[in-house]
């Protein structure tokens, strides 16, 4: 068997007819940028999350940059975030001229450790970017309380958690402003780049709408602020709007697959992801942890199963961030996770036979390890 990490061709088959129809309509109309389909997508995401102001933009990184700009963050400011995430959770901070300040993750779910945030706060701290990593919502009760106590706004990086909920509250509602991504491999992935900013605060929403189009307000060619071009194309918004109708069922299928994996892997010596409840994790990635990660990955590859490492190098050890002065050892949990994590296929189109094959291949690796163990312990 050959199992890819994600199967976008299979996904496209289910939406192809509607998307092709939309492409023809848009090309006939020639309304190509920020038109009715962008508005429709914004309305769909606003309705699903319950966050009133949804502003589409060019990609998820821009959504983070727009969020930080709307909060007025720049030179001389510090922004706290996790070192164990995709690059742009931190590059966005540096790109607006501020300084990323990292706080280690907790071992349980690899999200930022709320217990360590307060120690990192200084008078320069102007925001906290939380990342709901792999689709699991952070401990927002504690983090929101810290933000309130110190009067520091919270930005949610929800590029991996669109549709995740804690009780009735969707990701996107837990902070002042939130950024998501429609990169093709995300849970709601487009036919190209795409992103969105979500906020409850009207003042921030208004600013983001202007910043997205060069800082222009109502009057054309009058620039109230220095914005940039981060518009979304109609064809891409239309495709997302079609795929959006499937998002809830895709997310549900991912959660069910995670439950299935957890049930069939619970007795082997590997750290499984936690499933706390039915909604707060949408399993953008299903990540196992083992100190034999590289051999484990090679074994799965030999069996035709493609996996991913998210993320091999934590951000505080990236060459471009050496000026921040962190070292190996600065964030032990993030470093440990980077060495131990392996994401196995969990895309919604995965068949039961493929899931069972994956489980069998995983079990066979750890069963062969158990036989070898006594020897290595003696030596």
CB 111 within 8 A of CB 139: yes
Number of H helices, E strands in the chain: 12, 11
CB of 156 to ligand PLP, least distance (A): 10
365: contact with ligand PLP by CB under 6 A: no
Beta-bridge partner residues of 154:
128
Interacting residues with ligand PLP between 163 and 182 (CB under 6 A):
181
Cβ neighbours around 202 below 10 Å, total: 10
82: contact with ligand PLP by CB under 6 A: no
Interacting residues with ligand PLP between 99 and 118 (CB under 6 A):
none
161: contact with ligand PLP by CB under 6 A: no
Per-residue contact string for residues 20-59; x = within reach of ligand PLP by CB under 6 A = ---------------------------------------x
Closest CA to 181 of 159, 152, 209: 159
88: contact with ligand PLP by CB under 6 A: yes
- Specify the residue, 86 or 326, whose C-beta has the smaller distance to ligand PLP: 86
Query: Which residue number places its CB atom closest to ligand PLP?
Result: 60
CB of 133 to ligand PLP, least distance (A): 7
DSSP 263-325: HHHTTSSSBPPP--SSSSB--SSEEEE-TTHHHHHHHHHHTTB--B-S-SS-GGGSGGGGGG-
Per-residue contact string for residues 55-74; x = within reach of ligand PLP by CB under 6 A = ----xxx-------------
Contact residue for ligand PLP among 11, 81, 160, 251 (CB under 6 A): 160
Helix axes 202-212, 60-70, angle to 10 degrees: 120
CA 109, 345, 250: angle at the middle one, nearest 5?
A: 85
288: contact with ligand PLP by CB under 6 A: no
- Torsions phi, psi of 114, nearest 5? -60, -30
257: contact with ligand PLP by CB under 6 A: no
CA–CA separation, 252 and 48 (whole Å) = 15
Contact residue for ligand PLP among 54, 79, 110, 131 (CB under 6 A): 131
Per-residue contact string for residues 180-219; x = within reach of ligand PLP by CB under 6 A = -x-x---------x-x------------------------
CA distances from 48 to 28, 162, 163, 198, 293 (A): 30, 9, 7, 12, 37
Give the up-direction half-sphere exposure of residue 227: CA atoms within 13 A in the CB hemisphere: 26
CB of 68 to ligand PLP, least distance (A): 13
Residues within the interface to ligand PLP (CB under 6 A): 59-61, 85-86, 88-89, 131, 157, 159-160, 181, 183, 193, 195
């Amino acid at each position: 068997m050959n199992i890819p990490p994600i199967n976008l061709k299979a996904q496209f088959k289910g939406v192809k007819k509607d998307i092709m129809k939309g492409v023809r309509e848009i090309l006939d109309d020639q309304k190509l940028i920020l038109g009715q389909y962008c508005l429709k997508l914004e309305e769909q995401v606003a309705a699903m999350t319950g966050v009133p102001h949804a502003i589409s933009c060019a990609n998820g990184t821009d959504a983070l940059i727009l969020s930080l700009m709307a909060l007025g963050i720049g030179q001389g400011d510090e922004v706290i975030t996790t070192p164990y995430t995709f690059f742009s959770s931190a590059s966005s901070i540096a790109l607006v001229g501020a300084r990323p300040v990292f706080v280690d993750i907790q071992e349980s779910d690899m999200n930022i450790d709320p217990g360590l945030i307060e120690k990192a706060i200084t008078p320069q701290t102007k925001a906290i970017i939380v990342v709901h990593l792999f689709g699991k919502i952070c401990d927002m009760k504690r983090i929101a309380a810290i933000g309130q106590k110190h009067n520091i706004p919270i930005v949610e990086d929800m590029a991996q958690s669109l549709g995740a909920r804690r009780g009735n509250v969707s990701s996107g509602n837990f902070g002042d402003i939130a950024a998501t991504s429609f990169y093709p491999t995300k849970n709601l992935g487009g036919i190209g780049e795409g992103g969105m900013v979500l906020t409850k605060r009207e003042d921030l929403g208004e600013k983001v709408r202007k910043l997205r189009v060069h800082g222009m307000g109502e009057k054309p060619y009058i620039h109230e602020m220095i914005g940039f071009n981060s518009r979304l194309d109609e064809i891409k918004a239309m495709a997302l709007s079609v795929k959006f109708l499937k998002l809830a069922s895709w997310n549900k299928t991912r959660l069910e697959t995670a439950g299935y994996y957890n049930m069939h892997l619970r007795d082997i010596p590997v750290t499984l992801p936690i499933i706390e409840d039915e909604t707060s994790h949408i399993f953008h990635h299903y990540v196992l942890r083992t100190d034999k990660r590289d051999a484990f990955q090679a074994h799965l590859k030999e069996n035709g199963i493609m996996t991913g490492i998210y993320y091999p190098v934590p951000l505080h050890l990236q060459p471009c961030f050496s000026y921040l002065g962190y070292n190996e050892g600065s964030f032990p949990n993030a470093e440990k996770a980077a060495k131990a994590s392996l994401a196995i296929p969990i895309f919604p189109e995965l068949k039961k036979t493929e899931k069972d094959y994956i489980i069998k291949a995983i079990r066979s690796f750890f069963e062969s390890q158990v036989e070898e163990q006594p020897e290595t312990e003696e030596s």
